[in-house]
Chains A and B, each alone.
Chain A
Amino acid sequence: MMEPSEKEAPAVHTRDVWKIFEQEAGEVPAVRGVSVSIARGEFTALAGPSGSGKTTLLNMIGGLTRATRGQIFVSGRELTGMSAVELARLRLQEVGFVFQAYNLLPVLSAMENAEFPLLLQGVEESERRARISELFARTGLTGLEDRLPGKLSGGQQQRVAVVRAVAARPALVLADEPTANLDTAASESLLDMMEELNRELSTTFVFATHDRRVMDRSRRLVRLVDGEIESDDVRTP
């Protein structure tokens, strides 16, 4: 079967994807034959209890871990046979990450953290600064540019992480439990911001979450149980 071209391909497409971990007790399947397609511009949540395989699936989509079987396509490009270098390039160009623990680089300021992927992409300084300033203004981070992560609140750090994820204009942002460490107000504010970025920049967001607030905001909810898709609901906002 011909795969669609990169421009018209879905942001994510998986076909019968398995991930089996080898452990002392034997083989432990974390993801079992997941096939799912996520169109460009979607705001999708992969939900499920702990151990349901949602983070593992997210990591496989982001090329952070390799599938044991099956095929994964990101923007029409198959990840399965890619080398470590090709996967790194794909992440740099196509994928942004938001982690539960923010994972900002502690020695860089908020501005420097946000522009780091742009530096790796070789974007000119004026263009970098313009993009980050604009995103900082949108996300209420103006004035915090020179602060180190240790001097920012959890919510502010996660906002910087989201700016870092979208600044390089990736096709896809993968967010693993982005609200897990935030209080309700900070979570709502972060979700407002991500919805806005999704709407205005058409960036595809895929969340791995068990946070009800994220599930409620998502326009598609894929439920995973024991590594398999239990339900896949498209919801009307």
Chain B
Amino acid sequence: MSYRSRAMTRLAWRNIRRHVRRSLLTSLAMILGGTLLMISLPLGDGTHEAWIESAVRMGAGHLSIEHPDFHASRKIEDRLSGELRASVEAALHTPELRGRVRLSTPQVNIGGLASSPSGARPVQILGVDPVGEAAFTILDEKVTAGRYLSDEDRLAAYVGVGLSERLGLELGSRLVVTSQDGSGEIAGQLLRVVGIFRSGVPEIDESLVHIPMATASEWLGIGEDVTRISVLVDTSADVDATVRALTATLSGPSLDGSLTVMGWREAMPALDAAVRVDDFGNYLFQAILFSIIALGIVNTVLMSVLHRYREFGVLQALGLTPRQTGGLVLVEGLILTAASGVVGIALGLLITWTFWRDGLDISAVFSEEFSFSGVVMDPVIVPSFRLARVIQGLVFILVIGTLASLYPAYRATRIDVAEAMKFER
């Protein structure tokens, strides 16, 4: 650092210390902003992570490997062959992906009709590996009657509470599911209800039926084929990198065009939109909050500049250029906002840390079960900590501090030195 820079920094720091009350007032506004930022961002991220986790564990995972046409057609003919499935499962166990992938499970997902003596309903039938799916899904924990599927089950069905009510089903009741099979013919399958669940999402509770994979394969005549392989990763932030790594691992002449790797944003556009809208709302709130804080800072720093009119005149008489005089005001603003920003962020993290283990219970606000886009709102928000958010917050605060100091700095550059010498405090 040059002697001049050292002199300017020393002067800036001493001026901040000299006006303790004014500096503290300015800092308090920024500390409050930083604290709120570091409470709202991890809580917002935690909320989104909970939404995403809830949605991906209801079915398709953080990412899914499917036939390129399956997402749009939802037809059984757009499925992955047994060989492709084996290639994908081998790829998921390579060293590059093993560390990224938390869980993976094959699924057969088809639309069909469920009938009972009481009526018929359109349903989504999910053929699953009972053991693998129990680790993957959260629906096994939502059981209200009976149990989830087991490895020994053959003609078993695990149905939503809405569907059971519509079709008058109870534990042990029989139902028939009908769908197009692997050869394009209509095929039916008799099943017996072994468990009933309540996910909290009416659309799922009224339409989803889990059946054993072996039953689905035999019924539909598709052997080892599946419609998708669903994958869970540690957090949604890992999805993009895992999609890239998996796509790179699966690329090759024999696989090109026969499958696609799809992240949750692509697979669940409604949830993606909900997260983006909520993020936008948070950013808008932060922007309004920090605009108010910035106005406060502009006011106090500008008052400080006007109060020190003569001092800035003296500095220019001693040889400081107008730009350097403005720079001094900027340095003061930056020191103040950086220090208070760090304190605010630390305070915010400290407060948020108290919620990390048990989460923030907002059930008083959401007294009833609430769901949207296939997601159940959990009334307990567990904050999500990301280093990138801390850096982002600090940079944001520094930018706001700099912007707020620009006008007062500009005023300091416009001082009439001769007039400033006459200025009485």
Residues of A near any B CB (own CB < 8 A): 56, 59, 62, 64-65, 84-85, 88-89, 91-93, 97, 99, 101, 103, 105-108, 112, 116-117, 119-123, 125, 164, 176
Contacts and interface: CB of A to CB of B under 8 A. Distances in A.
B7 A97 contact: no
A116 B7 contact: yes
Contact of B318 (A65, A106, A112, A120): A120
A117 B11 CA distance: 13
A59 B14 CA distance: 29
B332 to A, nearest CB: 11
A63 to B, nearest CB: 9
A123 B3 contact: yes
Given A91-B317, A101-B310, 11 more contacts: A59-B421, A64-B418, A65-B416, A93-B319, A97-B317, A99-B421, A108-B10, A116-B318, A120-B3, A120-B4, A125-B3
Nearest to A91: B319
24 contacts: A64-B317, A65-B417, A84-B322, A88-B316, A88-B319, A88-B322, A89-B319, A91-B316, A91-B319, A93-B319, A99-B421, A103-B311, A103-B421, A105-B11, A107-B15, A112-B10, A116-B7, A116-B318, A119-B6, A119-B7, A120-B3, A120-B7, A120-B318, A176-B421
A121 B314 CA distance: 16
Contacts of B417: 59, 64-65
B421 A108 contact: no
B314 A120 contact: no
B164 to A, nearest CB: 77
Contacts of A101: 310, 421
In the complex, the 3 A-B pairs of residues with the closest C-beta atoms, listed nearest first: A92-B319, A107-B14, A119-B7
B418 A65 contact: yes
**Max chain A C-beta neighbours (<10 A), residue from B10, B15, B416, B417:** B417
A114 to B, nearest CB: 11
B357 interface: no
Interface string B282-322: 00000000000000000000000000001100111111111
B2 interface: yes
Nearest to B325: A88
Interface string B217-234: 000000000000000000
B7 A107 contact: no
A107 B316 CA distance: 17
Given A88-B319, A117-B318, A64 B3 contact: no
Contacts of B310: 101, 103
Interface in B1-55: 2-4, 6-7, 10-11, 14-15, 17-18
Interface in B125-170: none
A64 to B, nearest CB: 4
Nearest to B420: A64
B321 A84 contact: yes
A206 to B, nearest CB: 15
Query: Which of B2, B6, B421 has the most chain A CB within a 10 Å cutoff?
Result: B421
B323 interface: yes
Given A85-B323, A88-B322, A120-B319, A64 B314 contact: no
A85 B322 CA distance: 7
A122 B3 CA distance: 6
Nearest to A58: B418
B3 A88 contact: no
Contacts of B416: 65
Contacts of A93: 319
Nearest to B413: A84
Contacts of B2: 122
B4 A105 contact: no
* Interface-central residue, B6, B322, B416, by most chain A CB under 10 Å: B322
A125 B3 CA distance: 9
Contacts of B3: 119-120, 122-123, 125
Given A64-B421, A122-B4, A105 B320 contact: no
A59 B10 CA distance: 28
Contact of B11 (A56, A62, A88, A108): A108
A59 B4 CA distance: 25
A85 B310 CA distance: 19
Given A99-B421, A119-B3, A123-B3, A107 B318 contact: no
B318 A91 contact: yes
Contacts of B421: 59, 64, 99, 101, 103, 176
Contacts of B418: 56, 59, 64-65
Contact of B314 (A65, A84, A103, A112): A103
B317 A107 contact: no
A4 B150 CA distance: 105
A99 to B, nearest CB: 6
A88 B417 CA distance: 11
